[in-house]
Amino acid sequence: MTALSLHDPLLATYAIAATLMILKAVSMSWLTVVRMLGENGGFRSPEDLKKTPTNPNPNPNQLQPNERVERIRRIQQNDTENLPYFLAAGLLYILTGPPLWLAQWLLYGYVVTRLAHFAAYFTGQIHDIRAALWTPGSLILIFMAGRTLLAALGY
């Protein structure tokens, strides 16, 4: 087996797509905090009601669910449910040695579907729209996993 290197265009393609997805997922935590502070609510833990420089006037209502904060949390949960599969399937898939153009189409296509899904969820689009944006990414994962399985079995 050859050493992994970012000079390998397949690995570089995966690294770019994976890094974009990791950064997107991590940014959701920051977006949650920004939204909680902007809404002055949507906190989850009782200790969040202690007086601090960022919460100078604590109020028990701050622990009530806030739809604008909860929307971000749902988006983050969706990432948590989907991105680990992409990270694993994408890495295994590039080990099959696919054509570069196909790997780029699949990996970057997945990134585009996830970003479009985020935009739809963030702007409150109906489930049908979100599902239409989620489905291509799911099919990409299924294809990559299936192709990897076949390659591992010697086909």
Per run of 10 residues, the mean pLDDT along the chain (length 155 residues) is 82 98 96 95 94 92 96 96 97 97 98 98 97 97 98 96
DSSP state of 3: P
For 7, half-sphere exposure in the C-beta direction (CA atoms, 13 angstrom radius) is 3
Q: What is the pLDDT of residue 111?
A: 98
DSSP state of 34: H
Q: What is the pLDDT of residue 3?
A: 76
Q: What is the pLDDT of residue 133?
A: 96
Q: What is the pLDDT of residue 102?
A: 98
CA distance 79 to 102: 24
Q: What is the pLDDT of residue 2?
A: 64
Q: What is the pLDDT of residue 55?
A: 92
Question: Under the phi-then-psi rule, with left for phi > 0, alpha for psi from -120 to 50, and beta for the rest, what region is 40?
Answer: left
CA distance 79 to 55: 29
Helices (H), the chain: 9-39, 67-94, 100-122, 127-152
Q: What is the pLDDT of residue 4?
A: 79
